[in-house]
Structure formats: C-alpha cells, structure tokens
Chain A
Amino acid sequence: MPRRTMIEAIRDAMDVMMARDANVVVFGEDVGYFGGVFRATQGLQAKYGPSRCFDAPINESGIVGAAIGMAAYGLRPCVEIQFADYMYPGYDQIVSEAARLRYRSNGDFTCPLVIRMPTGGGISGGQTHSQSPEALFTHVAGLKTVVPSSPRDAKGLLIAAIEDPDPVIFLEPKRLYNGPFDGHHDRPVTPWSKHDLGEVPDGHYTIPLGQAAIRREGAALTVLAYGTMVHVAMAAAAETGIDAEVIDLRTLVPLDLDTIAASVRKTGRCVIVHEATLTSGFGAELSALVQETCFYHLEAPIKRVTGWDTPYPHAQEWDYFPGPARLGRALLETMEQ
C-alpha cells in the first residue's frame, strides 16, 4: 500500500473527489497556482482548471460566504482557511449562515461545505499560527467538527466530509502534516513512511464521521485525545508503562460517546488531553459526558491536560504545549487515586 504524508493524503482526497464529482470546487488564499502554503492543493489547478481550483482574495468572510452561496447553488465547495487562527473574520458566516441554513429554511436550501483549516501548535507559530479553536465550532448547532490524526484517517475523513450533506469543519493538525509528532520536540521527526497509518489506500474510501478509533487497547485508564495529542498520548503511555487505552475521537461532533463510555466503564479512569485552552474547552464537554454516563464506574476524578488559559506563546511554546512528560505525570496521578 502506498505511504503518504498527511498533506499528500489530504491532497489525494480532494483529487479523488474532484475527479468523481464535477461539483467539487477548491479555493482559498494561495491555493490555486501555488498550491497552498502547506502545498495541500498542489497540482489541482493544473489538473482541473482554474474554475475548479483558484486563488481567493484575503477575506475569510468572503471565502466562506461565497462558498455558502455556491453550496446553496448545488456545488460542494472545499475551501481552505490558511490557518485556523485566521478564521475569525469568517466566523459569522460559519455560525450564523452555514450552520443554520438547512434549519432556518426547513431544508429549502442546504450547505454541503467543507472548511479546511490547519490547526494547532508545535511550529513556532506564536499566537497567530498555533491556535486550536475546535470548541468554538463544537458549540455551534449545525456544524460537524473533524480532527484527523493520521494520513489514512485524513483522507478517509476528508472524503466523508466532502460527501456530507452538511457543513463540516475540518481541522488539520499542522504539526502532523509530515510525521506523527509525539511532543518530543527535541528529537528528529519520524516520517509518516515509517508509521502504519502512513499507509493510505489509493482511490476512494471513507471513514464515517462520528466513529472514534481505539489506538491502543488497555485496561488501566482511558485517554481521550484527538489530533496531535493522540501521538502524545501514545508516547506517554509507552513512557510511563501504564496500560492506557488511547481513544482517538477523530470526530468531535457528532461524537462517538458509545466507544468512550464503554472504555471508561472498563478502565474506571479517564484523562482528557487537548492543546486548546482549558476553560470551556472541548475537554469540559467530554468530562461532563463521562461523568454523566460513567459516574458509578469512576475510581478517580476525571483529569484534563490542556494548554494553559493564555494566548499561545512563542518562546514558551513547550511550556504551553501539553507534551508527553506533562501527560505522563497526569496518568500517574490518576492511577494513584
């Protein structure tokens, strides 16, 4: 099976869908001739022409708003916001328009739209190239929010997102584009070519939205993670020797609560990890759901390991970023209770 980086897998997903469906169009800042600042759309304009893949003015509200109009017409736009940190000018279009169009028109108009955004830290990007705004989307009725953690998932989830009849926020952990980064920033990056999930099937396949994956089976404790934190959790489990069950949520909304609840009922312990800030983060929702569904199975308080409630810093990045050492300490503490 061919091995691909996550960027290649994402490009392949768009390529597959543009070839299958003439209604799929791709646009955003720098995505046309140049192929995107992360090269996710490289070659698509040459292959499908400038009316299917093109550069947009630097106006995120315009990109999302135009895409909503196209989706209402009957196209399936897959647009790129250059960094998730830049999505705020388009937030009104996402929240007030894309998310509610089906509902408010009683299905008269719909919005099959994918908004791709490189997300998360670990690239010395400071406060404007490192944010993880997933909770700003999971809080909005009418959106689906996806965060892949590997090339194979990224392709299958992105194809599922493009085929989905409703708007999907597709958050791409940019630190994973070239390898399964586990938080050890002082070590060389392992390439995806040496990881099982770097194997990406050719052609069309989907990974359904709303299904989590168990990345490591374990009996002692459940770790709920998504995106880059999946690999951090794998490293923390290996380095502490704790028999943790690592669940990769893959989709935050809709959430695979059955898989989560089954695991926590089995292990009795739960640690939640995400890069985003703590307060009102998606971990708060996960913690509440675990408490509501697994209370009588819990043997220790649910613990959250997250970014601090500060803007994402530049020089102090690795003090902010929840790496394997910090997560490992949380796993040990949770086991001791």
Chain B
Amino acid sequence: MTDDTPLTLRVPEPAVRPGGIPDFSSVRIPKAGSVMRPAVDADPESIRDLAYSIIRVLNRDGEAVGPWAGLLSDDELRDGLRHMMTLRAFDARMLMAQRQGKTSFYMQHMGEEAVSCAFRKALEPGDMNFPTYRQAGLLIADGYPLVDMMNQIYSNERDPLKGRQMPVLYSSRNNSFFSISGNLATQYIQAVGWAMASAIKNDTRIAAGWIGDGSTAESDFHAALVFASTYKAPVVLNIVNNQWAISTFQGIARGGSGTFAARGLGFGIPALRVDGNDYLAVYAVARWAIERARRNLGPTLIEHVTYRVGAHSTSDDPSAYRPKAESDAWPLGDPVIRLKNHLIARGAWSEERHKQAEAEIVDGVIAAQKEAERHGTLHAGGQPSVRDMFEGVYEQMPPHLRRQRQEVGV
C-alpha cells in the first residue's frame, strides 16, 4: 500500500455550454496599437512576447493606430471591404442553395472574412497558398470568378473539377490556390515542401500554409514545423483559431500550451498572434511574415484569433454545443463592420455608400448564381459526364481502368 492518491484524468471543458452566459473574460485583449512591430530580421528569441499578445490596429473608435498601421490606401481598404462583403453575400446565397437541395454541403466564413481576404492582398503573383476549407477569401480577393466557385459547389457541367470533389474544395493554380484535400493538416507540410522547392530552385516565390486550431493537433502540424524550422523554408504558416473545431472547443487541441502561436517557439520559428477580425492588422502581420520569407529569413507562424460565427458546416447545429449568443459576446467584433467604421472615420466611406455597395454586391452574387444554375445544380440540369469519373486518375489511362470504363459503356 502507498499513500499516493488515485490518479484522475483531466478532460478540458469550455467555460460555458448551451444555456450558460457567454464568457470570454479569459481572452486577454491588448489595446489596439500597443504591440511592438519588430524588424523582420529580428532574432526570434527577442520577440517571443508576440506569441502571447494580440497585434491589433483598429481601436474602438475605428481609428488605425500604432506601429502596424498605415500600410493601406483608401482604395485598397475599400477593395478589402468589398471582398469581405462579397464573401459574406456569397456564403448567404450558397447556404440557401444547399438548404434548397441544389448542392450537398456548404461551409461559410461568417466572422472570419478578414483573415483570408486581407492575407491574399499581401502576396505576390506566383506565391502559393495551401488552404483549408474556410479560406475562400483567398480566391475572392484575387478576383476568381464567383460563377466558377458556384459551378464547383454545384458539381455542374462547368465544374472546373468535373464533379470529383465535394463542394468548396476548390483548386486554382492560377490564383495561387492549391487543391483542397478535406483531410486535415496534410496541406501544411506540403506548403513547406513547395517553399523548399522554391528555395532549391533559387526562385523568389513563397508559400503560405493554412490550418485550423483543432487540426494543429495532427502529426502533420508537427511535421510542417520541423521541416520549416530545419530548412528555414520560405513559408508563412497560418493558424486560424476560430475557437471551435466542429463541436470541440480549442482547449482540446491546445492543451496546456498558452497559445497556439507559442507552439512555434520551441522550433525557433517567430510566432505572432493577430486580431483576425481586424483587416488592417491581418494585412500588416501578413506583410511582415511574407517579407521575412521573401528575404530568405525563414518561416513565420501566425495565429489569427477569430471566431466562427456560423456552424462548422451545413451538417452541424452549434446550439447543441455552445451558447446561442456566444458570437455576440465575442470581444473582437465583426470584421466587416469594423473596416466599414474605419473607412467612415477616415472620411472614405459612408452609410449610404455602404448600403449601395451591399445592394450591388448582392446583385452580382445573384447574377453569378443564375449563370451557374443555367449549367446545372447537383441533382438537376447539366452534370459532368460519367466518363469524367474515369479520366484523370493517371495522365495516361491504364488498361484496367479502360476496361472498367468500357464496362460502363462510356
């Protein structure tokens, strides 16, 4: 017999569950403009604090303040607002289309629009993103046609991916957008490999990897950080911490680590946390990290602190696992409203212009939807051919697949 007390298992729980009052008092929010902006070649050891703070530019009055402000013109900010509003309008229409049975599945971005829309504008042509399923802003901010996105979502006769992929798993090399897998975290180490290839070829292009808070628990997250750290790959590794992995709160993946960004410190990778609902802050931090990569200074880890306002996908109901009003209590606000208020404070925007822009954007999305639907939806109208199912497994169709295709008679 020993005097030891029996061991017990600790299973982390979120602060509040359905029925409770939302509580984000544990999320420490520094004042906008209060976090330093180091030189891009700063010694990673000297900027460890950035992994525990939150870089913010927009204050409560809609002003851009501090050392990370001042990078974007009025025109660029209006473009950014338009991209986020377009993504939001696009999401609304596609959610409705899914509910109408026009497609099988959809995933919206509500609350996270700034992350991908702002990041995209900091990249150069030829750079490559390795995205997850909630970064369609990378396409929209690059001008990828909405109708092509919808054709993919509908798996119709104009689907660029020939009906082979679930909705929203886009691919567009010309828009710096790597094919989305659906398996989690696999793309993170691939981004590092792409960046290593660019360095091997003495190219000037850089890569950006994307991952969610939950998927940082995957082994491939570790693989990516090891390889990026070892080879000083020109890659920006983004973690989108939207607080929820389907129904699992971020504490299950984070464990005892103070923040997700802090995971980079053990690898000697500079790690920054940024207000993911602040378009200006995301852009500024992206620029900083991308410049580091481009100057061959190595990888950067960025944790975008944001909140998933909607469901994970059209297949879950958040009210079953978190308080209904939790998104209203989220302390970093709404990215669209914050940028809108900033533009108004700058004298570069107005309520009237906003309303007008909103109407124009919705009209544009509806027009794109009508055009896409002329080419079919998942169960009606034009569809990819059965022959397309057999094509493209290999560059040259091998004999066994040809026999199977012939058996089907296509």
Contact = CB atoms under 8 A, between A and B. Distances in A.
Q: How many B residues are at the interface, by size bracket? A: 35 or more
A106 B164 contact: yes
B261 interface: no
A284 B186 CA distance: 32
Given A52-B200, A103-B392, A106-B164, A210 B398 contact: yes
A65 B188 CA distance: 8
A102 B223 CA distance: 23
Given A25-B200, A65-B189, A106-B162, A96 B398 contact: no
A24 to B, nearest CB: 11
A73 B169 contact: no
Contacts of B160: 106, 108
B191 to A, nearest CB: 6
Contacts of B223: 57, 59, 61-62, 65-66
A210 to B, nearest CB: 7
B197 interface: yes
A282 B222 CA distance: 34
Contacts of A73: 128, 193-194, 197-198, 201
B164 A66 contact: no
A66 B227 contact: yes
A59 B226 contact: yes
B140 interface: no
Interface in B149-198: 160-162, 164-165, 169, 171-173, 178-179, 181, 183, 186, 188-198
A107 B179 contact: no
B192 A69 contact: yes
B320 to A, nearest CB: 29
Given A59-B223, A61-B223, A73-B198, A108 B190 contact: no
Contacts of B138: none
B189 A62 contact: yes
Contacts of B227: 56-57, 59, 62, 66
A92 B184 CA distance: 10
B171 A66 contact: no
Contacts of A253: 398, 400
B78 to A, nearest CB: 31
Contacts of B400: 253-255, 257
A142 B394 contact: yes
Contact of B183 (A92, A141, A144, A210): A92
Given A61-B219, A69-B207, A257-B400, A104 B165 contact: yes
Interface residues of A, number: 45
A242 interface: no
B398 A69 contact: no
Contact of B193 (A68, A89, A142): A68
B200 A51 contact: yes
B392 A141 contact: no
A228 interface: no
Interface string A46-68: 00000110001101011001111
A74 interface: yes
B186 A69 contact: no
Contact of B171 (A97, A108, A141, A254): A108
Nearest to B194: A69
Given A104-B165, A109-B179, A65 B393 contact: no
Given A66-B190, A108-B171, A255-B400, A101 B179 contact: yes
A103 B195 contact: no
Interface in A160-185: 165-166
A166 B400 CA distance: 16
A72 B173 CA distance: 10
A75 B200 contact: yes
Given A96-B183, A97-B183, A257-B400, A66 B196 contact: yes
B340 to A, nearest CB: 35
Contacts of A110: 395
A109 B171 contact: yes
Q: Which 5 A-B pairs have the closest CB atoms?
A: A69-B193, A66-B193, A65-B189, A62-B223, A254-B398
Given A73-B193, A104-B161, 12 more contacts: A51-B199, A59-B222, A61-B220, A65-B223, A69-B130, A69-B192, A69-B207, A70-B193, A97-B181, A102-B392, A106-B161, A166-B395
